[in-house]
Amino acid sequence: MSVGQRAWREHATCAGWDIDRTDPWFPAEPGRPDAYALAKSLCDGCPVLDECFREVMALEAGTSKYYREGVYAGLDPDERARLDHSGRRRRRGPRWNR
Q: pLDDT band for position 98 (50/70/90)?
A: very low
d(CA 88, CA 77): 17
- Given a contact cutoff of 8 angstroms between Cβ atoms, the answer to whether 91 and 67 are in contact is yes
d(CA 71, CA 49): 12
For CA atoms 18, 65, 79, 58, give the dihedral sign. positive
d(CA 10, CA 82): 28
3-state DSSP call for residue 75?
strand
Q: pLDDT band for position 32 (50/70/90)?
A: confident
At 66 the pLDDT is 86
At 86 the pLDDT is 66
pLDDT at residue 96 greater than cutoff 80: no
